[in-house]
Structure 1
Amino acid sequence: MRRLTFGMNVSLDGYTAAPGDDIGWSVPSDELFQWWSDRVAATELALYGRKLWETMSSYWPTADQDPGITPAEIEFAHRWQAMPKVVFSSTTATVDGNTRLVTGDAVTEITRLKAEDGGPMDIGGSTLAAAAMRAGLIDEFVLATAPVLVGGGTPFFATLDRWVDLDLVETRTFPGGVVLTRYETRR
């Protein structure tokens, strides 16, 4: 059975984006960017909600051709381009590259993907992750918590019907006061 991880940059008050989908506060340090890049390299399959897919696919497919890009960003772009992806959306018509579109029930498809043999999967996008969270499908949560209060926006955690017990498996501090925490779901 595959493991499913939900990880994103998050504000101290628990949001992945401020009002208006503003993520300007979440620009990672070089060290944190490298951590996320290494995570992409270790991910066998990425699951994206529509909004995050639109953000990522508007830049990373051709980012390595930008003359002002850093070597670390080129490495990330190549890793991201190579990683198989599944986009869940009822409004997106097409996807490209090594990406597959799912327009049906996300929980059913994520459950099927988890049951397959294979390496780790990451889920991105708060709305998609909320559905997986409510269904009890997430095995690990990764929060890169920035020292900023944004006051509202898109929450990292979904409203749940029951408690989810977690075990802390890692903490790490990055430049700029960002604290990375990893929690595994207690089964």
Structure 2
Amino acid sequence: MQPLIYDVAVSADGFISGPNADASRFPFEGPVVDDYRARLATYGTAIMGRATYEFGYGFGMKPGANPYDPMDCHVVSDGLDIPDDAVTITPRDSARTLIEHLKQEATAPLYICGGGTFAGWALDNGLIDEIRLKRAPILLGTGTPLFASVTFSPGTRLIDTKDYGEGTIYQAFRLT
């Protein structure tokens, strides 16, 4: 069985983006980003919500394109209408079944890409196995939280940490 991993940049005050999905204050180069890209190469499937998928449009991604090729890409949405292409759309009420199936059948770890709302739902449903945080020394004050509307509070165990200097830290936690 493969784990579902939430691998995301987060501000010191717990936001994965600022107002209007602004992520411009997070590092986009350097060793922390190089290590993130290396981890991306180990994932076989990307799963995200609609807002995270549509976020890619602002960077030139075309509707229906796979933002994480060669990974399989699944978008959980009830209303996203895109051309049949490289992305699988799954209705919200089928997301749990999809993730449980993928965990059983996948040959590489599953990656939750962004999305505090979707990640909060996945956490509440006990689907996330590991959280990998790229903690940036910035304060955003508002925006998209790491987890939105969470009622479930699992235990965590720190399994890895790396200090990149100047306040940027990577931490990985296994959920217990």
Deviates more, 1:9-18 or 1:156-165: 156-165
> Offset of 1:117 from its aligned partner?
4.3
Superposition RMSD in Å? 2.3
Deviates more, 1:38-47 or 1:175-184: 175-184
Q: TM-score if structure 1 supplies the norm length? A: 0.81
Which residue is 1:121 aligned to?
Answer: 110
The DSSP-based 3-state class of the residue aligned with 1:109 is helix
Equivalent residue runs for 1:1-187 within 5 Å = 1-56=1-56, 59=59, 80-94=68-82, 97-105=85-93, 106-124=95-113, 125-186=115-176
Distance 1:12 1:23, change over 3 A: same
Instruction: For 2:159 and 2:101, locate their aligned partners in 1 and report how far apart those are by CA, in whole Å.
Output: 27
In structure 2, stretches of 5+ residues that fail to align are: none
Instruction: For 2:161 and 2:60, locate their aligned partners in 1 and report how far apart those are by CA, in whole Å.
Output: 28
Distance 1:161 1:27, change over 3 A: same
Structure 1 segments of 4+ aligned residues over 4 angstroms from their partners: none
Say how many residue pairs are matched: 171
Q: TM-score if structure 2 supplies the norm length? A: 0.85
The DSSP-based 3-state class of the residue aligned with 1:34 is helix
In structure 1, stretches of 5+ residues that fail to align are: 63-78
> Offset of 1:2 from its aligned partner?
1.6
Query: For each residue in 1:27-65, what CA deviation from the matched residue of structure 2 results, as whole angstroms up to 9, or x when unmatched?
Result: 333212211211111101010111211223554769xxx
